[in-house]
Amino acid sequence: MKHGKRYQDAFKLVDRSKYYETIDGLDLCIKTAKAKFDETVELHVRLGVDSRHADQQVRGAVVLPNGTGKKVRVAVFARGDKAEAAQAAGAEIVGAEDLVAKIQNENFMEFDVVIASPDMMGLVGRLGRILGPRGLMPNPKAGTVAPDVAKAVQEAKAGKIEYRLDKTNIIHCPIGKVSFGTEKLQENLDTLLGAIVKAKPAAAKGQYIRSAVVATTMGPGIKLNSNRYGV
């Protein structure tokens, strides 16, 4: 794959053989951001587990202390008082059968997060083939199936992100924007990695965190020294 001059210039700043301390890696990550927009900084963590086994799945959600820098549009499936509470908490879209029909018939997808009260999951289940492949299906482990939908909306707005192992045993998550600066990005990174460490499956053997890499949307990957997390 051929990269442009900006990427090549950024690539030259990175020592590919080196594992950077977190603060230095993030500082370099910011320096390699050459795009004309405020790039997202992403963390990619390879784990020493096998995602093919149910007892080695790693999945959860965590609120980043400094948010993600992204405006999140929230859709909520709820009725009555819960629907009113979700609207009051800032949900852009609230509905029940009407929202299901809109998604099914009009291909309406103007939202980033979907939250549902537990009593609505029978209804939301009809949307599995639409929401599932997009990673939007509400799930208790991610905190998006919640009795207190208002709290779930507030957390989503505050920067709650879901982390989930992919088929190659890697977790990919945003940890903020370049404009956050090194300190805020490190706070977010430490919070996310701390949650991933706590979610370590009992069946996981050997080294848990195999590698950790940070990169901006358009920039090269920077390898971090993950030994400080003790796993």
Q: Check residue 220 and give its pLDDT.
A: 87
For 107-125, what is the mean pLDDT?
96
Burial class (CB in 10 A: 0-12, 13-18, 19+), 188: buried
CB 75 within 8 A of CB 111: yes
| Position 127 pLDDT exceeds 90 | yes
pTM of the predicted model, to two decimals?
Answer: 0.81
When pLDDT is cut at 50, 70 and 90, the band that residue 7 belongs to is low
| Position 8 pLDDT exceeds 80 | no
Where b means 16+ CB within 10 Å and e means fewer, 162-174 reads bbbbeeebebebb
Q: Check residue 226 and give its pLDDT.
A: 79
Q: What is the pLDDT of residues 154-210, one digit of tens each?
A: 999 998 998 999 999 999 999 999 999 999 999 999 999 999 999 999 988 889 999
For 121-127, what is the mean pLDDT?
95
Q: Which domains does the chain have, with CATH numbers?
A: 5-67+160-229 (3.30.190.20), 74-157 (3.40.50.790)
For 210, the token pair is 């195999």
CA distances from 223 to 14, 139, 182, 210 (A): 9, 32, 16, 11
